[in-house]
A and B are shown apart, each in its own frame.
Chain A
Amino acid sequence: MVRGKLTLGPAAPWLLLALGSLPAGGGTGTATETLSAVLNPAGALTTPATATLTTSSHTFQSFAATFPVSYQVRTTPGGSGGKITLQVTNDFSPTGGPTAASGALTYVCGGANLGTACSGTQTASTTTSTPVLTVPASACTGGGGACSSQNPNSMNLTFTLTDNPVYPTGTYSANITFTISAT
């Protein structure tokens, strides 16, 4: 499992503590404490380290693989929301076989329990990111209420690779990088 996550680091400057002054000497007194935190928009996601495209036939039906994507996200009320995108960062290798650059790798999105999964069939690209999920403003993972009841949230992707007879036999691998962003 590969996991990318943004957290509030120990040196995060947005957690500030202000202590009021205490009276010197005996007697009674009051102390006022102002504890404030600014929670920035954040996103984290988890995808399988590997996924295998398979075909159930030997008559050039496409290869396919379905796998889940887990994510946590928090978007701000005034922001533009969040999104998950993907890009083929390393095309299939060794060369001579299938390539995403040729448009042979497509995917569909579904099952998102927070946000809206991409619609229709998307063609994965080696040069640009393509949509997976959009998250509206003021969205958050977990806890129920204004946030989702699930934590983490999840969705699934089904990739399809055309099975062209001219592909030489062999095993080919490509890397897909998913990016979650939130504002």
Chain B
Amino acid sequence: MTKKRTLIILACALLAMAGLAQAQSATGTTTLSVTVGPEASLTVTNGTTTLATAGTVFNAYTGTTNLAYKIRTTKSTGSGTVVLEVTTDFAGAGGPSVGTPPTAGDALTYTCTVTGTGTACSAQTASHSATTPVVNFGAGAGSSTSTAAVAWSLTNDPVYATGTYTATTTFTIAST
């Protein structure tokens, strides 16, 4: 009788404790680490820029190329640039040329404007053999919404043969 009573008590105790079972939990922690370095990207908004002249008195051909860029330079010590180079000169005999202009003084020149981060270049002459500046950045620069515009001017030399001429200009952005 005593044994039976003991078992009954034990069973009741077990059932009671089972009913008390609660949600159990445990945790673990992970440290996420990231190193943010200098980066840059650039998009030429208008892939083709048409140079046109107003009037018929040999005014220069003009047009504007627009850029959008993102830039991050290293704090304290970094810098950045946007440069351009005429990587493919105007083709076609008797036409304009950046590398070998038919007349001394003929040139493809440009000026720059910046909206946002960076310092726009002063008036430049484009080159077929070297890069020339468009935008400069100092240390600690950071922007995702900046834009620049390159306003071109191509000499309208009367000696140019009539026709359509095309050149390719490559823009490069870099940051440290």
Return the contact of A4 from the options B17, B22, B27 (Cβ within 8 A). Answer: B27
Interface bits B124-162 vs A (CB < 8 Å: 1, else 0) = 000000000000000010111000000000000000000
Chain A, residue nearest B9 (CB):
A18
- Between B3, B23, B70, the greatest number of chain A beta carbons within 10 A of the residue's beta carbon is seen for B23
The reply to whether B72 and A176 contact each other, CB–CB distance below 8 Å, is no
In the bound complex, residues from chain B placing their C-beta under 8 Å from that of A161 are 32, 34
The reply to whether A18 and B142 contact each other, CB–CB distance below 8 Å, is no
From known contacts A38-B14, A50-B31, infer whether A182 and B23 are also in contact, taking CB-CB under 8 Å. yes
Residues facing B in A116-157 (CB within 8 A) are: none
The reply to whether A58 and B28 contact each other, CB–CB distance below 8 Å, is no
The reply to whether A67 and B30 contact each other, CB–CB distance below 8 Å, is yes
Interchain nearest-CB distance for A157 vs B (Å): 9
Chain B, residue nearest A32 (CB):
B3
CA A2 – CA B26 in complex, angstroms? 11
Q: Which of B38-46, B54-62, B99-107 forms part of the interface with chain A?
A: B38-46
The reply to whether A34 and B30 contact each other, CB–CB distance below 8 Å, is no
Interface bits B43-87 vs A (CB < 8 Å: 1, else 0) = 000000000000000000000000000111111001000000000
CA A41 – CA B37 in complex, angstroms? 46
CA A65 – CA B31 in complex, angstroms? 12
How many of chain B's residues touch chain A, expressed as a range?
35 or more
In the bound complex, residues from chain B placing their C-beta under 8 Å from that of A14 are 14, 17-18
Return the contact of A60 from the options B3, B18, B41 (Cβ within 8 A). Answer: B41
The reply to whether A173 and B32 contact each other, CB–CB distance below 8 Å, is yes
In the bound complex, residues from chain B placing their C-beta under 8 Å from that of A47 are 28-30
Return the contact of A98 from the options B3, B6, B10, B36 (Cβ within 8 A). Answer: B36
A53 at the interface (CB under 8 A from B): yes
Interchain nearest-CB distance for B71 vs A (Å): 6
A44 at the interface (CB under 8 A from B): yes
From known contacts A48-B30, A169-B37, A170-B75, infer whether A41 and B17 are also in contact, taking CB-CB under 8 Å. no
B164 at the interface (CB under 8 A from A): no
In the bound complex, residues from chain A placing their C-beta under 8 Å from that of B142 are 165-168
The reply to whether A98 and B34 contact each other, CB–CB distance below 8 Å, is yes
The reply to whether B23 and A168 contact each other, CB–CB distance below 8 Å, is no
Chain B, residue nearest A159 (CB):
B32
CA A92 – CA B31 in complex, angstroms? 10
CA A174 – CA B64 in complex, angstroms? 45
The reply to whether A43 and B25 contact each other, CB–CB distance below 8 Å, is yes
In the bound complex, residues from chain B placing their C-beta under 8 Å from that of A166 are 72, 142-144
Chain A residues packing against B (C-beta within 8 Å): 2-6, 13-14, 16, 18, 20-21, 32, 34, 36, 38, 40-54, 57-60, 63, 65, 67, 76, 79, 89, 92, 97-98, 105, 159, 161, 163-183
For this complex, 13 residue pairs linking A to B, each with C-beta atoms less than 8 Å apart, are A2-B29, A16-B13, A40-B22, A45-B26, A47-B29, A47-B30, A59-B40, A163-B36, A165-B71, A165-B144, A176-B31, A177-B28, A180-B27
